[in-house]
Amino acid sequence: MESYATAQQVFAAGLVFARLGAIIMLIPGLGETFIPARIRLSFALALALMLFPVLGATAPPIPASAGALAGEVIRELLIGLMIGAILRIFMLSLATAGEIVSLGTTLSFAQTANPMQAQPTPTLSTFLGMLGIVLILTTDLHHMFLAALVRSYAIFPFGREVPVGDAGQLAIQTTSRAFALGLQLAAPVVVLSLIVNVAVGLVGRVMPTFQVFFIASPLLVLLGLSVFAVSLGVIGMVWVDRYRELIGMFLGS
């Protein structure tokens, strides 16, 4: 290797690849499970080679022992997993919105194989998850992901201890924000479901012999899906804006 790169350069490039590889394996859009792991790691390796001339100069010297060398690699992996997990957790907002809409429209038993989770989920949750990936790629949010990767070396430079406490607190805050946003995105359908169910209950009390179930169920599905379709554009815009704010936190903007 000395004919092509020094040992210090190989070590620095390996540290860059460790962090970028961990992030690429988790971030939405580029790190989905339906993309083969070899493709994701190959992309991370190519990205690490491109960023090495910029980031390699700040890498620490080669440790004297194998234990210290493993510690440096593990530290970079943990930082990468932390950043990737935070960006991945926010995708729960769309899954939560889909679950709530499915419950409100009595479609929670309509399951579809979700390529992002490798397990069946409600059809509306799968649809919103795919919509989120499309929005990430069409609104160039993935460019902000790549910018956040580079910015992470200013926030978490080489050799810095992993902020486990801060990472846990940020994960909890991101999870709570994701669930709150999911409820907000599904609010129109929730309000409609509440109104329809209250009306059905009143009709059932006034006319006990009337089979309200056979009328209310198709009506709730039809009205719920109609409201969901009308509000879909607003759902996409609000979600992209909130995601952009989250990524801006890593960019310092």
pLDDT, tens digit, for every residue of 52-65? Answer: 888 877 888 888 88
- Residue 108 token pair: 């929670």
Average pLDDT in the chain: 83
Nearest by Cα to 91 from 28, 24, 173, 171: 28
So what's the pLDDT on residue 91?
87
Token pair listed for 252: 């310092």
The answer to whether the CB of 135 falls within 8 A of the CB of 236 is yes
Ranges 163-172, 207-216, 224-233, most confident? 224-233
pLDDT at 118: 60
Q: Is the pLDDT of residue 152 over 80?
A: yes
Quick one: pLDDT band at residue 225, thresholds 50, 70, 90? confident
Predicted local confidence at residue 66, as pLDDT = 83
CB-based burial label for 137 (10 Å; 0-12, 13-18, 19+)? middle
Q: What's residue 251's pLDDT?
A: 67
Q: Given this model, what pLDDT does residue 2 score?
A: 58
Mean pLDDT score, 34-59: 85
Q: Where are the alpha helices (DSSP H) in the chain?
A: 7-24, 37-55, 66-89, 92-104, 123-138, 141-155, 164-185, 187-206, 212-230, 232-251
CA-CA distances (angstroms) from residue 243 to 130, 141, 148, 154? 15, 8, 13, 21
In eight-state DSSP terms, residue 63 is P
At 21, which amino acid appears? G
Query: Cβ–Cβ contacts within 10 Å for residue 230, how many?
Result: 10
pLDDT of 156: 82
pLDDT at 8: 81
Q: Which amino acid is at 243?
A: Y
Instruction: Determine the Cα–Cα distance for residues 100 and 96; give it in Å rounded to an integer.
Output: 6
Top pLDDT among 111 and 163 is at 163
Question: How large is the average pLDDT for residues 236-253?
Answer: 82
Q: Which of 38-52, 71-85, 105-119, 230-244 has the lowest mean pLDDT?
A: 105-119
User: Residue 162's closest CA among 51, 40, 76?
Assistant: 76
Residue 216 pLDDT greater than 80, yes or no: no
Measure the CA–CA gap between 172 and 89, rounded to whole angstroms: 10
For 253, other C-beta atoms within 10 Å of its C-beta total: 11
Q: Which H or E run contains 253?
A: none
Beta bridge partner(s), residue 111: 122
pLDDT of residue 95: 87
Tell me: pLDDT of 3 over 70: no
Nearest to 54 by CA among 146, 159, 160: 146
Per residue in 127-138, pLDDT tens?
A: 888 888 888 888
Q: What is the mean pLDDT of the segment spanning 30-50? A: 85
Question: Is the pLDDT higher at 7 or at 192?
Answer: 192
What residues does each domain of the chain span? 7-251
Average pLDDT rounded to a whole number, residues 9-14:
84
Residues 162, 152: Cα–Cα separation, whole Å: 12
Whether 190 shows a pLDDT value over 60: the answer reads yes
Task: For residue 219, give every residue at least 6 positions away whose Cβ sits within 8 Å of its Cβ, in sequence order, or none.
Answer: 196
Q: What mean pLDDT comes out for the span 235-240?
A: 90
Q: Which residues contact 180 (CB under 8 A, 6 or more apart)?
A: none
d(CA 83, CA 113): 27
